[in-house]
Amino acid sequence: MFLLNSVTPSGGLRRWWPCLALAALHAAALADSDVEKLTKDPKNWAMQAGNLANHRYSELKQINSGNAGQLTVAWTFSTGVLRGHEGGPLVIGDMLYVHSPFPNKVYAIALEDQSIKWKYEPKQDPAVIPVMCCDVVNRGVAYANGKIFLQQADTTLVALDAKTGAEIWKVKTGDPKKGETTTNTPHVFKDKVLTGVSGGEFGVRGRLTAYDINTGKELWKAHSTGPDKDMLIDPARTMAWANGKMTPVGKDSSLKSWKGDQWKLGGGTTWGWYSYDPELNLVYYGTGNPSTWNPRQRPGDNKWSMTIFARDLDTGMAKWAFQMTPHDEWDYDGVNEMILADVKVKGKQRKTLVHFDRNGFGYTMDRVTGELLVAEKFDPAVNWATHVDMKTGRPQVVAKYSTDQNGEEVNSKGVCPAALGSKDQQPASYSQKTGLFYVPTNHVCMDYEPFKVEYTAGQPYVGATLEMYPAPDSHGGLGNFIAWDAGTGKIVWSKPEKFSVWSGALSTAGDVVFYGTLEGYLKAVDHNGKELWKFKTPSGIIGNINTWEYKGRQYIGVLSGIGGWAGIGLAAGLTKSTDGLGAAGGYKDLAKYTELGGVLTVFALPDTAAAGGDRTAAQDK
């Protein structure tokens, strides 16, 4: 108990401010979530990205480059849903939590015997399905303070009791009738759960919203476009990169970059992966494409779509912003993961943010200030821009591939990358051991023909026809798995794949890197890219590979279930080459290699191999 004041001899009040401060600190500590502490124990996989910084790296090393070839299936679990399975399972202690695409089932599974402790299946209106772009995926649940957080397709955010599955609270974060849906995982930082919105192809207005983890009360909301107050931007203090230095964004920075009220349909959706730096108290995320896909209908830079934001977690106020693709003409959403790592750039150690954008450029930023440090192509096929001007931060567009300059009803051919980017949301991994980034990539080009489109709430607002195909004059495949040096902006090695690598990667202290393929293979390579092992799972892999330890044994888990944008043709039965915004034609050969599915496959070493492997992280401690 804290004594806040007492009576002085003269009858006045003596105030005990130190006690009050301690009380406030104690209350804040109780309010914050336990997830950061849980991520520091490698036995858990407590966040979708493994930790706050989006590293997707594990200190576990029982499975290593010497014995990974002996991996075998430990157990499997069917989600009961046959659509695209993105994200992956969480593991906290002796429990595993796994999700499905629509209708967004959640299962709590006991690791001891793989029994289902509880199941949650929300009741959602199936009318939400046709409003979802690029399949009915969900990127996973979040955990904090005994709660499981699920962001449903119909924009309902729900907190469940992790022990029973009972609803604790739920809140509506959007309106599907306007084209708003949600596919992202919720992100828990301190005492807040953050979530975004999908629907850039329906003319929605993107935003990031923070809720109290205990009550579901909205704490702040930051829009991607519009007036400064709506975006939580301070014209004099929010900074942006210009003329080789950070400068204030100025008043009405978004409004001035749109024609009339187009910002109200401006897109800039927020369905990707967020990260958080506790020392700086900054949350980082990206915004998506401006609406419509026809650039002639929205002149200007269309701020702040296609932007990396750094915001104060407590207030939501933007500290800095960096727009990667001003006046986007190709649907190069900027929502991909922001990886926080300390990287040496030009001989100096920097606190950086590393981002592999859909536009094909790998960015290394100073995450404290927002300064642009490196911007280089991470796929050799990229041709829509020659380079990024390091003073302005603007890509230098090649006129031949400018869909705006070429005009409406003109087919711009041979644009690389395709609209799904040199990398979509499938997250990369940063190895704390090697200092390299392991990146699943697309090696895909397109023909892009914009046309005029009218806005109707809840109806597609795209305005472009696409066809996709493998990058020409290359290995003939649609993907590569690469290792990247973020300090120099160079590819260290590249492993070609027949199809795009659409799974999230995982690197470990055992000198093994894991990734999945659209044909359904889970692959293990060493840190030099040499293939050590592969296993064909029941369906194509668009999920993320996670790892954990239970009773002294390391496990690797991955969801397989073909779908997502790349697999939408197979998942939804689309056959025209332009269906699925061009993906149905580009990935038509997938049907020769895999089928629909929905299975969690868990791998481990045989008992003898595990006993003879390296010591576990727990034993090392």
Neighbours of 405 (CB within 10 A): 15
Q: Transcribe 338-403 into DSSP letters.
A: -EEEEEEETTEEEEEEEEE-TTSEEEEEETTT--EEEEEESSTT--SEEEE-TTT--EEE-GGG-H
Confirm whether 234 is a catalytic residue: no
Q: What whole-number distance in Å separates Cα of residue 578 and Cα of residue 563?
A: 17
Torsion angles phi and psi, residue 201, rounded to 5: -90, 5
Query: In 552-562, which positions are buried (b, 16+ CB within 10 angstroms) versus exposed (e)?
Result: ebbbbbbbbbb
Q: Are 155 and 148 in contact (CB under 8 A)?
A: no
CA atoms within 13 A on the CB side of 549: 20
Closest C-alpha to 425, from 357, 361, 359 = 357
CA dist., res. 330 & res. 382, Å (int)? 12
Tokens of residue 492, six digits = 């260290």
> What distances in angstroms separate CA 55 from CA 180, 439, 504, 508, one per listed residue?
29, 12, 11, 10
Quickly tell me which residue has 């041979």 as its tokens.
Answer: 414
* Tokens found for residue 47: 């966040």
Stretch (H or E) spanning 113: none
Q: 550 near 544, Cβ under 8 Å? A: no
* Residue among 486, 227, 501 nearest 346 (CA): 486
**String of DSSP letters for 516-538:** E-TTSEEEEEETT--EEEEEE-S
Contact 363, 345 (CB under 8 A): no
Catalytic residue (choose from 331, 333, 485, 614): 331
The two most distant CA atoms of the chain are separated, in Å, by 90
Asked if residue 511 lies in contact with residue 65, where contact means CB atoms within 8 angstroms, the answer is yes
Residue 414: phi and psi, rounded to 5, are 75, 25
Rounded Cα distance between 104 and 259, Å, is: 38
DSSP calls for 90-117: EEETTEEEEE-STTT-EEEEETTT--EE
H helix intervals, 42-144: none
Determine the Cα angle at 43 with ends 38 and 45, to 5°: 60
Helices and strands, number each (H, E), in the chain: 8, 42
8 Å CB contact between 134 and 117: no
Token representation of residue 536? 């064909």
From the centroid of its chain, how far is CA 150? 16
What is the rounded distance in angstroms from the CA atom of residue 597 to the CA atom of residue 560? 7
Residue 535 CA: distances (Å) to CA of 12, 222, 473, 553:
77, 43, 30, 20
Please give the positions annotated as active site. 331
